[in-house]
Amino acid sequence: MEEVLKFEEVSRLVGGITESFSKNILGRESTGQGVRVNRDGENITINIHLIMYYGVNIPQVAYDIQNNVKNAVESFTGLTVNEVNIGVEGIDKRKE
């Protein structure tokens, strides 16, 4: 999801526990690694799992990502995004 990866504080998207379970137990890959979208009629919930870089203001970056993703999805689809949940699964050292 390019709305998330354009943030320089984000290292990469990662699969959450359900993707890990699917891959390790059921033997199948998830197509949307790090992003899970649930739709209930006209309402959407988005869960994003990512790795951020060390030293960033995690609450502020998560808030910025939530707003950017919500605005992008709503303007593209015309649907209502109820929630954008950010799960920070780890921290990476910046590449020198």
Domain spans of the chain, in order of start? 2-92
Read out DSSP for 22-37?
HHHTS----SSTTEEE
Q: Which two tokens stand for residue 30?
A: 């998830």
Q: pLDDT of 5-19, one tens digit each? A: 889 999 999 875 554
Q: How many other C-beta atoms lie within 10 A of the C-beta of residue 18?
A: 12
Q: pLDDT of 57-94, one tens digit each? A: 999 999 999 999 999 999 998 899 999 999 999 999 98
pLDDT for res 33 = 79
Q: pLDDT of 25-62, one tens digit each? A: 445 544 457 899 999 888 899 999 999 999 999 999 99
3.10.620, 3.30.70, 3.40.1130, 3.40.50: CATH of 2-92: 3.30.70
